[in-house]
Amino acid sequence: MPRLNTVTPENAAGETKEVFDVLQKKAGKVVNIFQGMGNSPAALKGYLGLTSALAEGDLTKAEREIVYLAVSERNGCTYCAAAHTMIGKKVGLDDAELLDARRFVSKDPKHQALLSFVRRAMETQGFVDDGDITAVREAGYTDGQITEAIGYIALATFSNLFNHVYDTELDFPEIAKL
């Protein structure tokens, strides 16, 4: 049960209502995480703004989802892991790839390098060594894509921590525990 106020589309007002109206037009509903974030239009718009900005980057949709899944699993966020499993399927990842990403594993060598870098960035709180950067570059990632991966770590961590505090009720299909 949510531990913060839930702002439904029916009781939203002001900026939150404006954002919810856009979300309802785009997705047909306002998912539970956003009903919690609706307590702060600034936080909601910040999350959605960073999501939108990073989506314009050079990481592929699949790369974005495997990063989000790995970070969410490491942070213990079942809500985001479930949401991004569903999104990952929509961008063409199969069930094995989705499960592997949650373990920081990929059969694709390029994706494996990205996931290894993301793991090291998380383990070291960003204090990676030159070898970590060299490895992800040698796999074919640009400095811009490395920067975007860090952005996805931040974005996922924000939503993961929010879900833990809010105790967001799952409104996506359940996924298997690892």
Per-residue 3-state assignment (H helix, E strand, C coil) for 3-40 = CCCCCCCCCCCHHHHHHHHHHHHHHCCCCHHHHHHCCC
Q: pLDDT at position 150, please?
A: 98
Average pLDDT for runs of 10 along the chain of length 178: 95 98 96 98 98 98 98 98 98 98 98 98 98 98 98 98 98 94
Q: Supply the pTM of this predicted model.
A: 0.96
Q: Rounded to an integer, what distance in angstroms lies between the CA atom of residue 175 and that of residue 45?
A: 28
Amino acid at 76: G
User: Could you tell me if 88 and 69 are in contact, meaning their C-beta atoms sit under 8 angstroms apart?
Assistant: yes
User: Could you tell me if 37 and 162 are in contact, meaning their C-beta atoms sit under 8 angstroms apart?
Assistant: yes
Q: pLDDT at position 111, please?
A: 98
User: Could you tell me if 38 and 12 are in contact, meaning their C-beta atoms sit under 8 angstroms apart?
Assistant: yes
Q: pLDDT at position 152, please?
A: 98
| Tokens of residue 164, six digits | 């833990």
Q: pLDDT at position 2, please?
A: 94
pLDDT in tens, 37-71: 999 999 999 999 999 999 999 999 999 999 999 99
